[in-house]
Structure 1
Amino acid sequence: MAEAALKQTPVAAMIATLDQPSGGWSDAARKDALARVQSMGLPQRRDEYWKYTRPDTLIQPEALPAALRVSDEVALFDHIDRLKIVFVDGVFDADASDDLTLEGINIERLADASADIHWARDLYGTLETRGQSPVARPLAALNTAFAPDGILIHVTAKVSKPVNFIYRRTSETADAMLHHCIKLEEGAELTLLENGPVAARFNGVLEVEVADNAAFHHVRAQGRDHEQRAATHIFTRLGTESTFKSFTLTANGVMTRNDCVIELTGDDANATVAGACVGDGSDFHHDDTVFVTHDAVNCESRQVFKKVLRNGATGVFQGKILVKAGAQKTDGYQISQSLLLDEDSQFLAKPELEIYADDVACSHGSTSGAIDEDALFYLRSRGVPHGAATDLLTLAFLAEAVTEVEDETLREEITGRLADWLERHAH
């Protein structure tokens, strides 16, 4: 492509606004990612996996201003004993963070890890690159090329308490990219928590390598920032008899796109990705896009997503299970459901199965519906007010997704936060 023509492309316009870190162990991965972005271009509405979600505000050169209207409620996870790692406007804040020393784990800041030889060299951008096939994810490649900050975590044992990424925003125009890499060695275990408003526009990548017999638990809360636009990406690869569990709670936000790409490459591995979403208003748009690849024997995967939508809100789910030849005794489960609390909201779903093995048990289902009138009548007949009865039935609907969170304390806190949201958004 001629240089003059290249200058007119959306990818060139966005790249012109960014500074690419150079030098050190990540340099080759960043240059490769930049070349891939230039080749792929940025996502467009005509792309198969973007037809339900407009990428316009995610790919324009500058973020749209987002007013600072963050709730003053107590932040999720505040009463849990955890190691806190704080980012302000997408930049690591050492003064607000805890000492990054914890037995069984090594934690470093991406921006400070400049040595030519580093354990993360074999991970940074690797899973993201693998996740580009068969579906291109150019925003993730853009992140690999340009993300200036993030956290690198090397886990060598079972970690005694969770690590909590806490995000804070002070600017109405902050545009942030963060790239986190986590490597769990054989038999290691880690719980990662994420919460808080990152930026007016956020592009995040999390790469997680889970070795044999290791376990990774991830619980994330999005949406305290009412006007945030975000595109997040999780890429993970699982070894033999390993476990990966990720749950996302979403409330509020203008536009959120969460991509999750999972590879089960070791026998007897187990992966779960789940989400509970509540949205109110015509500006609310929430998209979960998941791709799970079974490439080993006797593996199990679960996708469980529930969305409650009202006042013109839009929810999207795109989920695929790919079972490769030889991945016998696969157990793949996928369910996506929406509860529409009015006739103006909509739920768009695209569940898929692609199977090349003959000894498998795979299922998928997707439904949309309203509040069960019989159940509502039952509660009303026993003196429960209409609003309270609707909230009880809504929480019961979301419960299947929330129960995918293994830790009871976290489950209770998430349920409490959902109940608080329903109370604030009274009927």
Structure 2
Amino acid sequence: MNVSIPINHTKAESDLLDRFDDVKEALPGSVAVAALREAAIDQIREKGLPHRRVEEYKYSDLRAFLKSAAPMAAASEMNAVTALMNAEDSYGDLDRYRVVIANGRFIAELSDVDALAAEGASLANIAEALSGENGAQLIAPPKSGPNDGIIALNTAFLQGGVIISVNDGVELSKPVELVQVATGAGGQATRNRISVGNGAKLRLLETFLGDTGAGELNTVFDYDVADTAFLATTRLITGKTEAARLFTSVATIGAEAEFKSLGFIAGPKFARNQQFVNFTGENSEAKIYGVSMAGGDDLADQTLIVDHAVPHCNSREFFKTVLDGRSKGVYQGRINVAPHAQKTDGEMMTQALLLSEEAEMANKPELEIFADDVICAHGATSGQIDEDLLFYLRARGIPEDEAKTLLVLAFLSEAIEEYGEEDVTDRLEERVRDWLAGH
């Protein structure tokens, strides 16, 4: 007989359970959606928040980090307008469409709905879709990571988000920036579904502005990349904040398709960017890049699982981390190759540069291969600035601080430039320089 042993909830866990009781009646969705929310909060009730005894969270203990949980953020469209006007432009003069989510809710009035429609892309409010006949399908547990505690939290407290659909054969003339704005303290839970039709092309810029105060920001992205389609996503997880920044991507890739992503972390006290990539069609390619910078006692976690479920697909994973102070970096990556996924080609590399003797990097690259006709490799390195290179630059009259900046920038720029989206490269390298100037 199996006996369920109740856990002793932390204050944050108790706060989250109380919060759910307070807000569940006001959250959007059908009866089926409400049932999924109840199941998700039951998972938190029974297992608690993810902690170090859960293998995937061994190096980034969310339960230990969250001391309490703030109430959910309230809607405030007017504050969103002010925040957008006052915020630093993440991409300078880059011409782009904009889609705005404020405090977890899609704001059509601030988004380029008509301009996108004219090009063959539509926007829909996910909060409204949750009340429809197929609403439960939008937040059903994904095939990858179905028991993940962060996804369960997102499901329980989901306030809203946006559905972006690009029609078959459409190539948008400029990138789409999906901006999530926090205008006040409070937790935010958002889910965004991005569908790219057959032969269509989309470049997506994911930006987060403002500060949630003591409230966590929990965002899930569902990417559906159809046959022969192309999707490139650039995610900025920046800004100094004491709250947890939790991001999850679930990508489903069709046949002869291309998917690229870059996750850029710099600033938050606790940031976890986890990605689940699933190949469902043959002859496709995924290129996943990550750049992380952490100082003080910050934690930057990049977690990735790539499932090669079909033959003849390629994946490349390349992650760079720079750590200062007593910060901690985490890279967990796994390539899974199914028994029938022959002719798979997968390579994974993670490299860390430690600027302080107290900084710590946890590298955990893995291969799980059940096919015999594959090419797969992984590697991991950690080290300090090369003293010979530093001496070379100083011997040519470059001051020590500037020489170190050049070496660190060159180290991180390798991943940024290999990502290949030239119109965002300069802006990302500028953010690297800004971070280095403060460390």
Pairwise same-fold verdict (TM > 0.5) = yes
Query: What amino acid does structure 1 have at the position aligned with 2:200?
Result: A
SS in 2 for 1:253: strand
Distance 1:382 1:4, change over 3 A: closer
Q: Once the two structures are aligned, what percentage of the paired residues are identical?
A: 34
Equivalent-residue separation in structure 2 for 1:168 and 1:261 (angstroms): 25
Equivalent-residue separation in structure 1 for 2:422 and 2:103 (angstroms): 31
In the alignment, does 2:210 pair up with 1:195? no
Equivalent-residue separation in structure 1 for 2:255 and 2:195 (angstroms): 15
In the alignment, does 2:182 pair up with 1:183? no
Query: What amino acid does structure 2 have at the position aligned with 1:110?
Result: I
Residue 204 of structure 1 corresponds to which residue in structure 2? 219
The C-alpha deviation readout for 1:141-167, integer Å capped at 9, x for no partner, is: 231233111011111122222211223
Residue 161 of structure 1 corresponds to which residue in structure 2? 174
Distance 1:59 1:132, change over 3 A: farther
Query: What amino acid does structure 1 have at the position aligned with 2:156?
Result: A
Residue 17 of structure 1 corresponds to which residue in structure 2? 19
Distance 1:11 1:413, change over 3 A: same
Is the Cα–Cα contact under 8 Å of residues 230 and 259 in structure 2 kept in the other structure?
yes
Distance 1:63 1:347, change over 3 A: farther
Equivalent-residue separation in structure 1 for 2:295 and 2:155 (angstroms): 33
Residue 290 of structure 2 corresponds to which residue in structure 1? 275
Equivalent-residue separation in structure 1 for 2:260 and 2:414 (angstroms): 15
Residue 144 of structure 2 corresponds to which residue in structure 1? 131
Is the Cα–Cα contact under 8 Å of residues 129 and 141 in structure 1 kept in the other structure?
no
SS in 2 for 1:387: helix
SS in 2 for 1:354: strand
Residue 38 of structure 1 corresponds to which residue in structure 2? 42
| Selected match of 2:242 from 219, 227, 237 | 227
Query: What amino acid does structure 1 have at the position aligned with 2:249?
Result: I
Where does 1:226-305 land on structure 2 (aligned, <5 Å)?
226-282=241-297, 284-305=298-319
Is the Cα–Cα contact under 8 Å of residues 142 and 250 in structure 2 kept in the other structure?
no
Is the Cα–Cα contact under 8 Å of residues 44 and 55 in structure 1 kept in the other structure?
yes
Distance 1:154 1:328, change over 3 A: same
In the alignment, does 2:123 pair up with 1:107? yes
In the alignment, does 2:393 pair up with 1:379? yes
| Selected match of 2:377 from 363, 367, 372 | 363
The C-alpha deviation readout for 1:166-202, integer Å capped at 9, x for no partner, is: 233332x321000001112211111111113352311
| Selected match of 1:398 from 393, 407, 412 | 412
Equivalent-residue separation in structure 2 for 1:393 and 1:73 (angstroms): 30
Is the Cα–Cα contact under 8 Å of residues 211 and 239 in structure 1 kept in the other structure?
yes
Query: What amino acid does structure 2 have at the position aligned with 1:137?
Result: D
Query: What amino acid does structure 2 have at the position aligned with 1:108?
Result: A
Query: What amino acid does structure 1 have at the position aligned with 2:179?
Result: I
Q: CA deviation at 1:331?
A: 0.9
Gaps (5+ residues) in structure 2? 73-82
Equivalent-residue separation in structure 2 for 1:24 and 1:49 (angstroms): 30
Q: CA deviation at 1:132?
A: 2.6
| Selected match of 1:332 from 338, 341, 346 | 346
Equivalent-residue separation in structure 1 for 2:189 and 2:425 (angstroms): 29
Distance 1:210 1:330, change over 3 A: same
Equivalent-residue separation in structure 1 for 2:99 and 2:150 (angstroms): 24
Equivalent-residue separation in structure 1 for 2:308 and 2:34 (angstroms): 28
Q: CA deviation at 1:275?
A: 1.1
Q: RMSD in angstroms over aligned alpha carbons?
A: 2.9
| Selected match of 2:154 from 123, 135, 143 | 143
More helix by proportion, 1 or 2?
A: 2
| Selected match of 1:85 from 94, 99, 109 | 99
Equivalent-residue separation in structure 2 for 1:100 and 1:161 (angstroms): 15
After TM superposition, the score normalised by the length of structure 2 is: 0.86
Q: CA deviation at 1:211?
A: 0.9
Q: CA deviation at 1:125?
A: 2.6
SS in 2 for 1:252: strand
Q: CA deviation at 1:93?
A: 3.6
Is the Cα–Cα contact under 8 Å of residues 304 and 400 in structure 1 kept in the other structure?
no
Q: CA deviation at 1:410?
A: 0.8
Query: What amino acid does structure 1 have at the position aligned with 2:59?
Result: Y
Q: CA deviation at 1:22?
A: 8.0
SS in 2 for 1:322: strand
Deviates more, 1:258-267 or 1:79-88: 79-88
Equivalent-residue separation in structure 2 for 1:374 and 1:2 (angstroms): 61
Query: What amino acid does structure 2 have at the position aligned with 1:160?
Result: S
| Selected match of 2:431 from 412, 417, 421 | 417
Distance 1:22 1:269, change over 3 A: farther
Is the Cα–Cα contact under 8 Å of residues 14 and 60 in structure 1 kept in the other structure?
no
Equivalent-residue separation in structure 1 for 2:30 and 2:426 (angstroms): 40
Equivalent-residue separation in structure 2 for 1:286 and 1:109 (angstroms): 31
Equivalent-residue separation in structure 2 for 1:29 and 1:244 (angstroms): 30
Gaps (5+ residues) in structure 1? none
Q: CA deviation at 1:361?
A: 0.9
SS in 2 for 1:399: helix
The count of corresponding residues between Structure 1 and Structure 2 is: 413
Q: CA deviation at 1:98?
A: 3.4
Q: CA deviation at 1:424?
A: 3.5
SS in 2 for 1:367: strand
After TM superposition, the score normalised by the length of structure 1 is: 0.88
